[in-house]
Amino acid sequence: MQSPFTLKAAGGSVGRLIGLVVFLMSLIAANPVGALTGRTVTGDWFDHEIRWVDGYTSYRAKWKVFDVDGEVVVCGAGQNVGHQYSENKRILRDLGFFIGGKLVMRDLRFFSKVGKREPLLGAVAHCKSTGRSASEFSSKSVRLGKAVSRRY
């Protein structure tokens, strides 16, 4: 059986392309933030809920902040309850994380989507790096809040 790295095609480019893909995949696998994608939501994660005036529609989320190799990383999972308004997506875009009163991340649409009939506890969360050093924010309060002033 021939190895995929020795395939020959127009100019031998297939073998180089496969080698490049394997190299890039190894970089992604070594990325600690990428490794965080897949964190399971547990009972010690924070709750957040956006409730609409209809009394039925809301967006519920669970989130947590981690120190990954000295960098602040946010993980979260959320679900639409009731009608799935596009406004929920717009609000997630305008929310952000504040650490010590300083905005460190805006746009929470990266949160994983959980079905409305499934529990948030035990769900798989998506994570995103803030690009900030964890030492910059040690022992400071963390809050989720409105990062953009907009009327809905």
pLDDT band (50, 70, 90) for residue 36 = low
- For the entire predicted model, the pTM comes to 0.69
pLDDT in tens, 102-148: 898 999 999 999 998 899 999 999 999 988 888 877 767 888 888 77
Single out the residue of 13, 125, 24, 148 nearest to residue 65, CA to CA: 125
For residue 44, what pLDDT band results from cuts at 50, 70 and 90? very high
In eight-state DSSP terms, residue 69 is T
Contact of 62 with 41, CB cutoff 8 Å:
yes
pLDDT of 151 over the 80 cut: no
d(CA 12, CA 101): 55
